Every structure is written in C-alpha cells, then in structure tokens.
Structure 1
Amino acid sequence: MTPERLAQLTALRHALHQRPEVSGEEAETAAFIAEQLRGVAGRVLTGIGGHGVAAVFDSGQPGPTVGIRCELDALPILEMAGKPYCSQVPGKGHLCGHDGHMTMVLGVAQDLAQTPVSRGRVVLIFQPAEETGQGARDFRNDPQYAEIQPDFLFSLHNLPGLDLGAVELCSGPANCASRGMRVRLTGKTSHAAAPQDGLSPASAMAELMPALAALGPGGELTEDYALTTVTHAQLGAPTFGVAPGEAEMWVTLRTVSDARMAQLVDQAEALVRKVAADEGLGVVITYDDVFEACVNHPEAVQILAQACAQAGVQPRLTAVPQRFSEDFGQFAKGSKTAMFWLGSGVDHPQLHNPDYDFPDALIPVGAGIFLAAIHQVLDAPVTA
C-alpha cells in the first residue's frame, strides 16, 4: 500500500472515529460506508438486518463466493484518548476498533475495483450491532443475505497485548459463548419498621450471588470451562423507610462451547428457582446479549494461514480461544468461517478502555491479509 493510499484510508478512519454510533443506531455510519462503496463495487446492498451494508464484486464467471466481514457499531463509553480526531458524540466512542476494521475492508474494496477477480464473487459485509450479539443474527436472517451468502467468510479483530502487526489464529474454538442472565425476584414491600409484614428478597440475593459465582469458577479454557460473573445487583429502592419487595441481578455466563453453555444455563436456572421457592419469592429469568461460541472451520483456517504467509506475516497457531465473545459465530451456519487476531501492541490500551484507539499502522496489514485470502480461494486451480 502506497503512503498516499494509507494517508487517504487513515483520514477515512478518523472521520468514522469522530462520529461513533452504538448498536442499532448506525444509520449515519452505514450511509457513509455505502457512499464510499458506490462507484467502487458492482452492487451495494443496504438495510440488511438493520443498518447492515454489503458490497458485491461479481466476476461474472462461475466460482465460489468469498466474504469479508467487519462491524459498524461503537460503544456507549466516553472517549478519553485525547486525539485530535476524538469522538464528537458525548458518551460514545469507537473504543473497540471497529472504525479500523471498516477502514481495512474499504481498502479491500478499492483494491478489488482496481484489480477485479477473474472468477466467483467477493462480498464485503459491514455488519451492525456486534456489541449486543444481535447484529450477525439479524444480518443472516435478512432475505437479502440469501442472495450473497459466502462459501468462505473471514473476519478479524485487533488484539491489545499482542505485538503490533502480529497474527494469532485459532484452530477450532476462537471465542467463548456468553449471555447475560437477568434475574428478577419479587416479594412484598413493607415499612422498614415492620419488615416482618413484608417479604424481602434480601436473603435470597445474598445466597444467590456467591452460589451463582461458584457454578462457574473460570480456570483453564478447556471444554469444561465455565465462568459466571455477577455484573449488577439492585435490592429495592434507595430509601431508608421501605423494606424491599423486589431485587434484580445481572449475571454473565461464559463457556467455551455451546453445549457447556446449555448445561450452565440449566444449572443456574435450577439454582435460582430453588432459592426463590425456598424463600416464597416470585422469579422471572430473561436473557440479553446472547453470543454463541465462535468456532473456526479447519479449511478456512488453512486459507488464512496461507494468506498471512503470502502477506508476509507468520501467524501463531493456537488451540486456546479468546475469553471474550463475538457474534461472528452466527455466520458459520452456512459458510466456512474463520477469524484471526491482529496485534495492536503489547502495551496498547485494552479494548473498551476510554483511552483505547485503533492503530492506523494495522490498516495495510489487515487489508493485505484479507486480499491474500480472497485470492487464495479465487485464484486456486479449478479441479474437475
């Protein structure tokens, strides 16, 4: 990538960075992306699964469809990086690097326009609402997706703590499954001077918080790995005059596999219902931010490994998944998928930190690996 092109893409990244939009609200970001793609891609689809965008590069010749996926959404976090191009939207920021991911894929689009593929198709996916786990599900379920579903689909995420520009690639599980469990306990309020006339969920909450944590103690990332984290708890109203009659707890459940998640859900629900019944309380359990496990397909992993080598990066192969979750796993239902990790620097601020900022030096690295993966599939010899 020439210095001039990198400067142009960096300016695009900074423009995206200044106007972050959170999950489900990415209308302006999607319009910006679609505008960049018109006149570059042969076809641009919009409104996929919400604000999703897709660019199609069709050679007109038979062959597989290769997809590259990135994310549109930002986070509801105040940015404190102090950069001249920092967020202009109070309380919101691109503090996960999705602005950089989009920019890499825009770079891929520019290259494909200059050097079209000779067979098959390339589909570039700009997916909304990754941070809530809902975006990939809605994108896949949109009728427009059936027209463009790739045979192979690749993605990346930048990774602080890994050397700048280094690549880590998992064979098998790549990201943990997770979900937010919301537990609502209901009893009966009373005057604080006569708590015996009400039914407080305080004892049940006090019992459940350590008991739920004990169900998932964490540890090594094996098939049996389970982690439960109490992230929020509220008992009654903030007042001294009322003995509480309701309580709410939020608990994040995390496992390596979907099968282990199903077991953990059953265990957690059984525990909650038993404690509530013992205390005579009503209980309602709901779930938010549901992420299925992300598992890399072996054939897609092999293609990415070869693409990295072609792009001049030697990937580190590992069997240990990341603890955090990604909704990219949804796309494995119908496509051979793989995600790789691109190092943001050993001492780089962590994802979702208020001082995080995507390193612009990664733009040509990620774009180069994606392009190499595309050509690895579409330039492969056709066998009878």
Structure 2
Amino acid sequence: MEKIVTIEELNYLTNFRKKLHQSPELSGFEKQTVQAVVDELKLCNPTTIITELGGHGVAAVFKGNLKGKTVLFRAELDALPIQEENTFNHKSKYSGISHKCGHDGHTTILIGLARTLKNNPLLKGEIILLFQPAEENGAGAKAVLEDEKFKSLQPDFVFALHNVPDYDNGTIIIKNNSFTPSVTSLKITLKGKTAHAAEPENGINPDLALQELIFAIKSMGDNNLESETFSVITTVYATLGSKDYGISADYAELHFTIRCWTANQLNDLKKIISAKIKSISEKHQLKHTLEWIFEFDSNKNNDEAVASILKAAESNSFKVIKKQTPFKWGEDFGTFTQQYKGAMFALGSGKQTPALHNPDYDFPDEITPYGIQMFNTIIKLMYV
C-alpha cells in the first residue's frame, strides 16, 4: 500500500499536535482545542462542518458524488487533571492539566485524514470525522448521540483507535466482541450521629460499616482475565469523620471504580452491590446514599468492522496482534458501538513509552502516519 504521509506532512502534523499539547483543556471545556481543529478543517474543504455537538464537539462531513456507505471516525479532544512532569518545549502551559492519554495525537490523526481527503476527494459515500468532547468523564459520547444535529448523520459504521504503550510502534491490536469493559464509579455516603469521643455509645459511628463495606464489595471482584465473571473493583477514595479528636464521627464516604467485560454483567453486579450496601447500612442503623457516576459502555466490536481493520493492517503490512481478552480501561466510544456497527482498535505506541495517565507520558508522533494510513485504507476497503 502506498504511503500517504510524507516527512513534510508529518512535520506539519507534529507541530499541530504539539500546539494542542501546550494548551490542554479538561472535559467539557475544550473551546480553544475545537477552534484549532476547526481552523485546520476549513483548509480541507469538507462538505460541511458541524459545531457544538454535544457541547464542544465538531464533525467534518466529506461527501462523494455517488451514493455509498456513511463511515464515521472518532477522536477525542479533552485532557486530564494531571500535572505534567515533562520539560520539553511543548509542555503544558497550564498547571494541573495535561494531555496524558494521547487525545492530542488522536485528534491530529483525524486532521491528517482530513488533509488526505482534501487531496484525494471521495468519489462515493460519506465520511464523518468526529472530534468528540468529554471522553475522560464518560459524558461526551452520550451527549453527541443525543444532539439533534448528530441524529441526521446516521453512520453505517463507526471506527476509532487508541494508542497503547508497551507495544511496538505501529502494531495494530484487534479483538472481536468486547474490546474494553463496561465501567462505572460508585459513590457511597453513610450518615450516623455524632457523640463525644469518650462516649461513642451515645452516637452512631459509621466506622465499622465502612470497614465491612470495603471488605464485602472488594470480595465480589474476580481478577481472572479468562473468567466470564471477570470484574475489577478498586477502592479509589474513603473518608471518615473529621480531625476533631473529641468527636466520634457521624459521616463516612466511600468511592469505587468497577469494571466488567459486558454491560449485562455489570448491571447484575450493580444490583448485588446495591443490596449489600442497603443491608450493611441498616444493620448499623445508618442512613445511606449511593450514586453510580462516570459510566462507560463496553466497546462491542462488530465482526465485519474488525475484519476491515485486519484487512487494512495486512494491506499495509503492519504487525497485527489478535488480543484474547479485552483491555481493562474504559472508553466511551462503547456508547457508539452499542448503537452502530463498528470497532475500536489499539495502535502500539512504543515499548519504552510511559503508561497512559502517567505524568511523564507524551504521544509519540512517529505513530501518527500509522493511524492515518489505517483509517484511509479502511475508507478504501469500504468503498471497493
């Protein structure tokens, strides 16, 4: 397959990516990032540009003259609340905010694809390049899909990629069925009654309930990757009372993240956990609340879409790994694959690359051409 990204083009795209990296924005606040994207898209002569999709999202639509499939490719816009430790010239300008998941690189790949579509106009069908906001908090995909402006697009297939450290540069990692798990976070509050610390029996302290809940909920996890009941339950936050040494506490708060291979499995586990919280709270005479937040649907990879990804990789002689179990991180592209035929694949970003969400991570620009080439080849395969 002919390479479509020259050294000059890669330099151009790298400069754009570094510009995004310098000015990261958190989920729901991607205004500057979107403006930079729109400015680039206008140079690519799409048929139309749709803005303010599900917040700060934007879609560029490229239409051919003949009828054909509508294929959507998605990238993410948002950064993370992480202090960057890197010292290179394009480091984040903002304290406590940085691109530590590679969304700046994913966005750049779609800009590269837009530039390719400008130079090689689509003959038939329709391509949608979606730049989605608020992936990191799980709100963006749902907001885009619920936006009336999106409902007129109706793709036949949806595709996305995610860079993954600890794999050789340019490796294409594929999997049928669940690619990433269903993920949710759980917030529990427990309310009792204060008392003098010398007379705790006159109050209701949530301390024993807090311990019991941690043990009970954690024991429901199953870390066997091969198991159909696989689940990862992680305690992420816990607090009890205040630093007032004469007071027996009356309030506790407990947070978990929970992930399962499928949405049905997660829903079943949520019911069991909810019942256990109610039971333990009543046992200790505590009022309680529970809230499920930051939910990510499982990426349900369609067999036909995965076959297109595999064929595209083989056409370009890229190394392919067929993963046996899903990745364990959440990705809200699953909201798309639950509704449309599609698939996500992983793009190896280097054996020595720091892990995602680490303060020293930076997207490796040398893998940008692989992403563009993969998406462009998928387009060609779709319209053969």
Q: TM-score, normalised by structure 1?
A: 0.97
Identify the residue that residue 111 of structure 2 maps to in structure 1: 106
Question: Counterpart in 2 of 1:319?
Answer: 324
Match of 2:30 among 26, 29, 44: 26
Contact 2:191–2:206 (Cα < 8 Å) also in 1: yes
Contact 1:169 1:315 in 2 (8 A): yes
Q: Report SS of the residue matched to 1:90.
A: coil
Distance in 1 separating the partners of 2:168 and 2:227: 25
3-state SS, counterpart of residue 345 of structure 1 = coil
Q: Which position in structure 2 is the counterpart of 1:264?
A: 269
Gaps spanning 5+ residues in structure 2: where? none
> Alpha-carbon deviation of 1:68?
0.6
Which residue identity does 2:47 align to in structure 1? Answer: G
Given that 1:221 and 1:256 are in contact with CA atoms closer than 8 Å, whether structure 2 keeps it comes out as no
Q: Shift in Å at residue 221 of structure 1?
A: 4.1
Q: Is the 8 A contact 1:18 1:85 kept in 2?
A: yes
Q: What CA distance in whole angstroms lies between the structure 2 residues aligned with 1:76 and 1:143?
A: 30
CA–CA distance in structure 1, aligned partners of residues 203 and 317 of structure 2: 69
Separation in 2, partners of 1:334, 1:352: 28
Match of 1:329 in 2: 334
Distance in 1 separating the partners of 2:360 and 2:150: 36
Aligned residue runs from structure 1 range 59-74, under 5 A: 59-74=64-79
Question: Does residue 282 in structure 1 map to residue 291 in structure 2?
Answer: no
Which of 356, 363, 366 does residue 351 from structure 1 map onto? 356
Task: Output the amino acid matched with 1:150.
Answer: P
Q: Comparing 36-45 with 241-250, which one deviates more in the overlay?
A: 36-45
Whole-angstrom distance in 1 between the partners of 2:276 and 2:88:
48
Q: How far does residue 149 in structure 1 lie from its aligned partner after superposition?
A: 2.5
Question: Could you report, residue by residue, the CA deviation over 1:345-366 in whole angstroms, capped at 9, with x for unpaired residues?
Answer: 1221000000000000011110
Q: Secondary structure at the match of 2:222?
A: coil
1:25, CA displacement in angstroms? 0.8
Distance in 2 separating the partners of 1:312 and 1:90: 42
Question: After the TM superposition, which of the residue ranges 179-188 and 39-48 deviates more from structure 2?
Answer: 39-48
SS of the aligned residue for 2:55 comes to coil
Q: Which residue of 1 aligns with 2:241?
A: 236
Q: Which residue of 2 aligns with 1:36?
A: 40
Letter in 2 for 1:335: Y
CA deviations over 1:143-176 (Å, ceiling 9, x no partner): 1111222111110000011111111101111001
Corresponding residue of 1:187: 192
Tell me, yes or no, if the aligned pair for 1:16 and 1:99 is still in contact at 8 Å: yes
Match in the other structure for 2:296: 291
> Which amino acid counterpart does residue 97 of structure 2 have in structure 1?
K
Within the candidate set 9, 15, 24, 2:13 is matched to 9
Q: TM-score, normalised by structure 2?
A: 0.97
The one-letter code matched in structure 1 to 2:319 is: Q
Aligned residues: 379
Q: 1:375 — aligned with what?
A: 380
Q: Read off the aligned partner of 2:379 and give its amino acid letter.
A: I
Corresponding residue of 1:90: 95
Q: Distance in 2 between matches of 1:201 and 1:234?
A: 10
* Aligned equivalents of 1:297, 1:217: Cα separation in 2: 26
User: 2:80 and 2:314 mapped to 1: Cα distance?
Assistant: 33
**What residue number does 1:342 align with?**
347
Matches within 5 A, 1:74-223: 74-223=79-228
Give the secondary-structure state (helix, strand or coil) at the position aligned to 2:353.
coil
Q: Residue 30 of structure 1 contacts residue 51 of structure 1 at CA under 8 Å; is this kept in 2? A: yes
- The runs of at least 4 aligned residues of structure 1 exceeding 4 Å deviation read none
* Offset, 1:84: 1.3
1:331 match: secondary structure: helix
Return the alpha-carbon distance in structure 1 between the equivalents of residues 338 and 236 of structure 2.
31
Shift of residue 338 of structure 1?
A: 0.6
Separation in structure 1 between the aligned mates of residue 82 and residue 244 of structure 2, nearest angstrom: 29
* % identical aligned pairs: 36
Moved more, 35-44 or 83-92: 35-44
Tell me what 1:48 maps to: 53
- Amino acid corresponding to residue 27 of structure 1 in structure 2: K
Distance 1:83 1:166 in 2: 26
Question: 2-side partners of 1:158 and 1:196: how far apart?
Answer: 55
Paired AA for residue 345 in structure 2? F
Residue 58 of structure 1 is matched in structure 2 by 63
- Do 1:67 and 1:122's aligned partners in 2 also have CA atoms closer than 8 Å? yes
CA distance in structure 2 between the aligned counterparts of 1:177 and 1:334, rounded to whole angstroms: 15
Give the 3-state SS of the residue equivalent to 1:365 in structure 2: helix
Residues 173, 319 of structure 1: 8 Å contact kept: no
Question: Could you tell me how far 1:318 is from its partner in structure 2?
Answer: 2.4
Query: 2:300, 2:338 within 8 Å by CA — same for their partners in 1?
Result: no
